[in-house]
Amino acid sequence: MTDQAYNFAYLDEQTKRMIRRALLKALAIPGYQVPFASREMPMPYGWGTGGVQVTAACLTPDDRLKVIDQGADDTTNAVSIRRFFQRTAAVETTERTADATVIQTRHRIPEQPLAEGQVLVYQVPIPEPLRFLEPRENETRKMHELEEYGLMHVKLYEDIARHGEIATAYAYPVRVEGRYVMDPSPIPKFDNPKLAGNPAIQLFGAGREARIYALPPYSDVVSLDFEDHPFTASKADHACDLCGAGSSYLDEVITDDRGSRMFVCSDTDFCASRQAQGHRGRLSPQGATP
Amino acid sequence: MTLMQNAITAAPLLSVQGLTKRYGPRIGCADVGFDLYPGEVLGIVGESGSGKSTLLSCLAGHQRPDQGRILFDGADVLGFSEAERRRLLRGDWAYVHQNPRDGLRMGVSAGGNVGERLMAVGARNYAAIRESATDWLGRVEIAADRIDDRPSAFSGGMQQRLQIARNLVTGPRLVFMDEPTGGLDVSVQARLLDLLRGLVRDLGLSVVIVTHDLAVVRLLADRLMVMKSGRVVETGLTDQVLDDPQHAYTQLLVSSVLQV
């Protein structure tokens, strides 16, 4: 079978139509989880089947696609999804955040601020923020319906009681437009402030759970907290060892078995473009000038 | 007697009329009616299958009765929307389950369990929530250093006391109790009853308590309702009903109690 045997962007038009209807509904009710008829995709659940379906429904032949996994353009998940759409949709791809019109992401929001007209598609493993507090799905739906979100604070209370601070570091629950409590997918809480007032459209797809939710541009998004334990966006207290950036989210990399480690930007495009501009970090090769 | 004065002057807190619940052709409870005044404890006794649990779950909104009216503070509870009903359940009302595991979150610390109702009604200050959790654990005789332990590390009696603290923390006006001492050994039962009696008197709670244990109602209840086959067969002041039972079934019930 040749690649031309596929419809544009793999999914058939009726399926894309169904997903677009769910997307429109999700955008109309920010933070509300819209059920959709999730399809089997040629990849395992947990690899971004929800995000891929949303991206497929959004892509047009004129789009330029960027795919990141934990901020990186060159990891297995990102490479394989990017190649999937190159083959099935023949769209242009890019690694530069500013050039992309559609960005599919797993677990990060790019460091470079997004602009109007861009679409950010998140891969979501578990869309229900109340899941581990209340296992009954009919009950969590009722809680969303009636805005009974006290239980979410019980989780934060438990964090403080056990660790002295809110120890939840990723998938930090947010409240959207003063209404729905939403799981922002497992992005680090460092990225939570970027959810709010973002000019880009943010779409969340959960394939296994068959749910889509969304944040329209410039949505009001508030991270939940206590009055005396306010939300803080945390990151490793270092600068990037390659580009010297002090304000980006960092990955910690073990470099040998004697305790040496380095911190590098998790956003590879951000790090590479800073290095191209001549920024240097602690472990940058000496004498190498751009 | 202050209770009697209350009963005369105040309007009933809970007024039930003609409450009927059928399970198909069978009767759960039929044509039950009573008034509960502020600060009053009403005991409902009867053997297994007499409809007392059905009655309680209808009253507490866990089941919908087929007929009848339930007025709380003058408002028709059965006409409430789901949102209003649930607000009542986590604010003015409280429900103590027979099995504390049904009423507690076993994966959440004792402090979190007590704090949940506070957070559900909008408390967002950690220190304040923690303070009232500590205070309530003290009131139900749980040591303050157990506040971060999970209920699964507690004994049955402690779990039941924790459940009571969790229910009373928001200052409910009406408490439903379903066999609160069931499954506890007698010495723990006695302490729990003592504690409950103190709390009821201090806080002026109105309580509907369902039990098959006549000793429990003797200690706690002001008034008694005896049920058999889904119907109320006798009502009256507790001592009056227990000391001078009129209905044949009540006489049987009272004479069945083992004297040690």
A204: pLDDT confidence band, cut at 50, 70 and 90?
very high
Residue A228 placed within a domain: no
pTM for the whole structure? 0.86
Residues A213 and A191 in one domain: yes
Q: With CA atoms as reference, report the closest residue to A111 among A270, A272, A235, A226.
A: A270
- Write down the pLDDT at residue B10: 72
Inform me whether the pLDDT recorded for B3 exceeds 70. Answer: no
Dihedral sign for Cα A112, A115, A121, A122, please.
Answer: positive
- Write down the pLDDT at residue B185: 83
Residues A259 and A209 in one domain: no
Out of A223, A254, A271, pick the residue that ends a domain.
A223
Residues A155 and A123 in one domain: yes
Name the CATH architecture for the domain at B10-92+172-259. 3-Layer(aba) Sandwich (3.40)
| Separation of alpha carbons B107 and B124, rounded Å | 21
**Do residue A150 and residue B111 have CB atoms under 8 angstroms apart?**
no
Out of A223, A249, A264, pick the residue that ends a domain.
A223
**Can you read off the two tokens belonging to residue B31?**
């044509």
B34: pLDDT confidence band, cut at 50, 70 and 90?
very high
CATH code of the domain containing A66: 3.40.50.11310
Domain boundaries for CATH 3.40.50.300 within chain B: 10-92+172-259
Residue B110: closest C-alpha in chain A: A158
- Per annotation, catalytic residue among A31, A48, A50, A205: A31
Query: What residue numbers bound the domain in which A270 lies?
Result: 235-283
Q: Which helix (H) or strand (E) holds A263?
A: strand A261-265
Nearest to A154 among B119, B127, B130 (CB): B119
Is A271 a catalytic site residue? yes
Residues A27 and A49 in one domain: yes
Query: Residue B82: its chain A contacts at CB < 8 A?
Result: 142, 146
Encode pLDDT of A129-151 as tens digits. Answer: 999 888 999 999 999 999 999 99
- Write down the pLDDT at residue A38: 96
Residue A3 placed within a domain: no
Which value, to the nearest 10 degrees, does the dihedral of the CA atoms of residues B211, B217, B222, B224 take? 50
Strand pairing report for A211-215 and A201-206: antiparallel
Residues A273 and A219 in one domain: no
Q: What is the ipTM of this complex?
A: 0.84
3-class secondary structure, A290: coil
Residues A46 and A69 in one domain: yes
What residues contact B236, with CB distance under 8 A and at least 6 apart? B223, B224
Residue A43 placed within a domain: yes
Alpha-carbon separation of residue B98 from B161, B178, B181 (angstroms) = 12, 5, 7
Query: Looking at CA atoms only, how far is residue A92 from chain B in angstroms?
Result: 48
- Write down the pLDDT at residue B1: 45
Residue B122: closest C-alpha in chain A: A150
Residue B113: closest C-alpha in chain A: A154
Inform me whether the pLDDT recorded for B2 exceeds 80. Answer: no
Q: At what angle do helices B156-168 and B110-120 cross, to 10 degrees?
A: 20
- Write down the pLDDT at residue B8: 53
Encode pLDDT of A221-258 as tens digits. Answer: 999 999 999 999 989 999 999 999 999 999 999 999 99
Q: With CA atoms as reference, report the closest residue to B38 among B75, B16, B9.
A: B9
